[in-house]
């Protein structure tokens, strides 16, 4: 697959934001060009048919759950906010990973909730969760809401299906939000929505069109929700419909399975080539990832020179200020060509340092 990829208007190669730089499938562009005036100037009439939209109907069919249990939102950030604002009261506890997307703690603070964090274990080649420890913490803290991120940002690890079942079983007394923003980049697809949602009535599974489907700018996502969550279902209902342009794009994306599978396959191959490249440099450690990014631990004294060096190449990767990741960088997987460009810059930097150290 040859694709030069999306380049930001500032002309830097942005491998720092976990966007999908292959861009959306060609069918999305065709759909955008053929959007009619009626879609732009009138409300959808889907509500009068007793459904939210054509998109929620389609998702319900594909995921084999009732349409009433599919909610739509402007990105999963929006649905996460709705769920937390709906269920977490002042002083109530939300359990979430300590090394994860900063927004989880921010959204709990918005409603004066208290966050209790659980740590991920840093292994030699991968981060992991300790499921039994997490269940122990849950029993001790009795949180109102539990946040599970799989794959987690920025560590890239996910919960195997068996663990997800065990956790949702143990967390029956709470609202469980499972954030699967980075679904679709793992070697196996983890198709568990139907079985989890039919079994756990307090579960919200968040999926977005931003990452796998490369539609971050369209701001569209969905949640599959258990049957006990009628408060959230009512809270999120929009009687005049949703953004019809974004819905049209999302439907075209769902029609383009082959395109996205090819993109994901290429990203998985490129992820592997990063693992192999970093394995040649013993001071650098790459953590196994199921997402469209990888986390790499680097020597502390390499941080500033690497940042400066990549600036000269007009390439941005993520350098952290959070204490847990001070010595780490997160690299978003771009297109094959973009990944080659970063890899050759990294090799130049790493080999030059190695040669200098060899001389010292």
Q: Which residues bind ligand PLP (CB under 6 A)?
A: 18, 75-77, 101, 149, 153, 179, 181, 208, 210, 216, 221
Which residue's C-beta sits nearest to ligand PLP? 75
Instruction: Tell the smallest beta-carbon distance from residue 212 to ligand PLP (Å).
Output: 11
Instruction: Tell the smallest beta-carbon distance from residue 18 to ligand PLP (Å).
Output: 5
The answer to whether residues 169 and 119 touch, using CB atoms and an 8 Å cutoff, is no
Instruction: Tell the smallest beta-carbon distance from residue 271 to ligand PLP (Å).
Output: 17
Burial class (CB within 10 angstroms; exposed 0-12, middle 13-18, buried 19+) of 326: exposed
What is the β-pairing status of strands 285-286 and 221-225? Answer: unpaired
Instruction: Tell the smallest beta-carbon distance from residue 344 to ligand PLP (Å).
Output: 27
Instruction: Tell the smallest beta-carbon distance from residue 107 to ligand PLP (Å).
Output: 11
Decide whether 302 or 329 has the Cβ nearer to ligand PLP: 329
Instruction: Tell the smallest beta-carbon distance from residue 101 to ligand PLP (Å).
Output: 4
Decide whether 242 or 281 has the Cβ nearer to ligand PLP: 242
With b for 16 or more beta-carbon neighbours within 10 A and e for fewer, the 213-223 pattern comes to bbbbebbbbbb
Decide whether 80 or 170 has the Cβ nearer to ligand PLP: 80
Decide whether 183 or 281 has the Cβ nearer to ligand PLP: 183
Decide whether 81 or 336 has the Cβ nearer to ligand PLP: 81
Instruction: Tell the smallest beta-carbon distance from residue 75 to ligand PLP (Å).
Output: 3
Instruction: Tell the smallest beta-carbon distance from residue 205 to ligand PLP (Å).
Output: 12
Decide whether 127 or 281 has the Cβ nearer to ligand PLP: 127
285-286, strands of its sheet edge to edge: 13-15, 315-319, 328-332, 293-297, 285-286
Decide whether 18 or 53 has the Cβ nearer to ligand PLP: 18
Q: Minimal CA–CA distance to 193: which of 231, 224, 159, 152?
A: 224
Decide whether 148 or 302 has the Cβ nearer to ligand PLP: 148
In sequence order, the 6+-apart residues with CB closer than 8 A to the CB of 119 are 97, 98, 99
Both tokens assigned to 78? 């929006």
CA distances from 349 to 310, 318, 338 (A): 9, 17, 17
Provide the 8-state DSSP code for 292.
S
Both tokens assigned to 23? 């861009």
CA distances from 255 to 57, 59, 135, 249 (A): 14, 12, 39, 10
The H helix count followed by the E strand count for the chain is 13, 14
């Amino acid at each position: 697959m040859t694709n030069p990829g999306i380049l930001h208007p500032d002309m830097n190669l942005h491998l720092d934001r976990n966007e999908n730089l292959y861009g959306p499938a060609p069918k999305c562009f065709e759909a955008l060009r053929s959007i009619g005036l009626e879609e732009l100037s009138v409300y959808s009439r889907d509500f009068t048919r007793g459904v939210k939209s054509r998109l929620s109907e389609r998702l319900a069919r594909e995921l084999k759950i009732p349409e009433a249990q599919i909610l739509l939102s402007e990105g999963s950030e929006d649905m996460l906010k709705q769920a937390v604002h709906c269920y977490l009261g002042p002083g109530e506890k939300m359990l979430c990973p300590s090394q994860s997307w900063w927004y989880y703690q921010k959204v709990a603070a918005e409603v004066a909730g208290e966050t209790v964090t659980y740590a991920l274990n840093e292994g030699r080649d991968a981060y992991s969760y300790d499921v039994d420890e997490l269940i122990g913490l849950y029993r001790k803290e009795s949180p109102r809401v539990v946040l599970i991120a799989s794959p987690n940002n920025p560590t890239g690890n996910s919960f195997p299906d068996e663990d997800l079942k065990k956790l949702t079983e143990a967390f029956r007394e709470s609202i469980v939000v499972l954030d699967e923003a980075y679904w679709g980049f793992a070697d196996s697809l983890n198709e568990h929505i139907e079985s989890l949602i039919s079994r756990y009535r307090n579960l919200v599974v968040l999926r977005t069109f931003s990452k796998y489907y490369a539609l971050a700018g369209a701001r569209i996502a969905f949640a599959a929700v258990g049957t006990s969550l009628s408060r959230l279902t009512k809270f999120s209902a929009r009687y005049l419909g949703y953004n019809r342009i974004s819905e049209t794009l999302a439907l075209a994306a769902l029609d383009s399975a082959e395109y996205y599978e090819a993109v994901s396959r290429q990203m998985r191959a490129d992820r592997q080539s990063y693992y192999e490249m970093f394995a040649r440099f013993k001071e650098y450690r790459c953590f196994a990832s199921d997402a469209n990014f990888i986390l790499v631990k680097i020597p502390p004294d390499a941080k500033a020179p690497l940042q400066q060096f990549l600036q000269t190449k007009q390439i941005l990767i993520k350098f952290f200020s959070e204490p847990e990741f001070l010595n780490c960088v997160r690299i978003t997987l771009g297109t094959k060509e973009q990944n080659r460009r970063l890899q050759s810059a990294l090799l130049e930097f790493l080999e030059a340092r190695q040669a200098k150290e060899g001389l010292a």
